[in-house]
Amino acid sequence: MHPLAQFVQDRFPDAVTGVNEAFGDTVNWDLIPRNAIANVNLMSGSNPVFGLNTLGGVLAVQTKSGFAFPGTSARLAGGSFGSRSAEFEHGGHGERADWFVAGNANDETGWREHSSSRIRQAFAKGGWQDSRSDIDVSLALADNALEGTQALPVSMLDTPRQAYTWPDRTENRLVFANLSVRRIVGADNLIAGNVYVRELSSRNQNSNVNDSCAAGPCAFNAFNDAGRIDETRVGFALQATRDAPIAHRENQFSAGVSFDTSRSAFDGSAQEANFSAQREAVGISPFVTETAVATRQQYARLYLLDTLTLAQDLYATTSASYNVTELQISDRTGTQPALDGKPIRTVAMT
């Protein structure tokens, strides 16, 4: 591994980029290519470096580089239930420049009926390094379709592979670009920054039983729910870290600032349906939009973090953060004005 990369990994593990989605702050693990991951570190407890949603801890995912993972490898696999996959990765470097690419294609029909999955992922990363500077540009792409059916009631367990209701399908498409720059200043200081843009398009359709049929005859015994989310998120972060002893004890002090802004559009619709003999919810009317909203969110924070080594495997950590969040939601149907709201700004200190 390049000396600078080893220095950053060992002494400044907090210089990372978050992958939480803007709408709901969720993480879609299917969008992260497995063969592009160098390592995953679990950091327990609240950490202001990673934002507000880290009370229990955070998983820090580090991607591969051409300096650390040179060479080429490919893998083909197949198995039961239509499982087949192809994976490829290639890394290389010159004296100062490096590159890494990875791609995945995975398909399976699933052990249950109507529970197939399709994964398409691509990752590319290029960088330039010298003894004190490190610049990386990465691009992640994904186009996935995942199907999964609900648990069976006891009355249907005689055929465990059948679906209770279907379709239940989620499609995710991602474009994620990131630029990160690190510069070592002096012997013990690091300045790190990154800028990113993330676009996600998510579609899902779920089949459901019409519960009103339990009370007697009904016009339709099922319905389909459909949702779509389109979001764009842009942000930057800047962090300064000093790793130098205090009173002859190892100490690491970090100060940083970040800003994220996002826009999301959500649509929810429903369709009347009847079950076929195979328990497919077949629509008998068009989808009708029930909810359509647009959201805008801005998130700025300033944080401080200090870790002092008291003894072997004993540390004292002090942290503080100042966070300002602004959220706005607006109705896009024109029929639900109660969803409209002026921008709400909240300030939090930890």
Structure confidence at residue 200 (pLDDT) = 96
Structure confidence at residue 160 (pLDDT) = 92
**156 φ/ψ angles, rounded to the nearest 5 degrees:** -110, 10
Q: What is the pLDDT of residues 155-175, one digit of tens each?
A: 999 999 999 999 999 999 999
Give the containing element (helix H, strand E) for 291: strand 288-311
Contact 327, 72 (CB under 8 A): no
- Segment among 61-75, 88-102, 168-182, 314-328 with least mean pLDDT: 314-328
One-letter amino acid identity for 80?
S
248/230 Cα distance (integer angstroms)? 52
How confident is the model over 206-210, as a mean pLDDT?
Answer: 94
Q: Is 247 exposed, middle or buried (0-12, 13-18, 19+ CB in 10 A)?
A: exposed
- Strand segments, DSSP code E, in 217-335 are 222-243, 251-275, 281-283, 288-311, 314-331
- Answer positive or negative: Cα dihedral of 69, 144, 30, 54: positive
How confident is the model over 226-242, as a mean pLDDT?
Answer: 94
Residue 215 pLDDT > 90: no
* Domains contained in the chain, number: 1
Structure confidence at residue 2 (pLDDT) = 46
How confident is the model over 276-288, as a mean pLDDT?
Answer: 95
Q: For the chain, give percent helix, strand, coil, nearest 5.
A: 10, 60, 30
Q: Is the pTM of this model over 0.85?
A: yes
Structure confidence at residue 40 (pLDDT) = 85
Contact 4, 50 (CB under 8 A): no
Residue 334 pLDDT > 50: yes
Residue 253 pLDDT > 80: yes
Dig out the tokens for 25 from the structure: 């702050």
How confident is the model over 228-245, as a mean pLDDT?
Answer: 93
pLDDT grade for 150, boundaries at 50, 70 and 90: confident
Contact 129, 120 (CB under 8 A): no
Per the prediction, the chain carries an average pLDDT of 89
Structure confidence at residue 4 (pLDDT) = 45
Contact 33, 98 (CB under 8 A): no
pLDDT grade for 340, boundaries at 50, 70 and 90: confident
Residue 83 pLDDT > 70: yes
Number of H helices, E strands in the chain: 1, 15
Structure confidence at residue 297 (pLDDT) = 92
Contact 286, 272 (CB under 8 A): no
Q: Which candidate, 118, 103, 238, 231, places its Cα nearest to that of 175?
A: 231
Structure confidence at residue 196 (pLDDT) = 94
Domain that holds residue 301: 3-349
140-154 exposure pattern, b = at least 16 Cβ within 10 A, e = fewer: bbbebbbbbbeebee
How confident is the model over 121-148, as a mean pLDDT?
Answer: 94
Q: What is the pLDDT of residues 7-65, one digit of tens each?
A: 555 544 444 566 788 887 788 989 989 999 998 888 777 777 776 667 777 788 889 99
Q: Give, in degrees to the nearest 5, the angle at Cα 64 between 59 and 65.
A: 140
Structure confidence at residue 9 (pLDDT) = 53
| Paired strand residues for 329 | 295
Return the CATH number at 88.
Answer: 2.40.170.20
- Answer positive or negative: Cα dihedral of 126, 118, 161, 169: positive
Contact 164, 152 (CB under 8 A): yes
**155 φ/ψ angles, rounded to the nearest 5 degrees:** -65, -15
CB atoms within 10 A of CB 281: 27
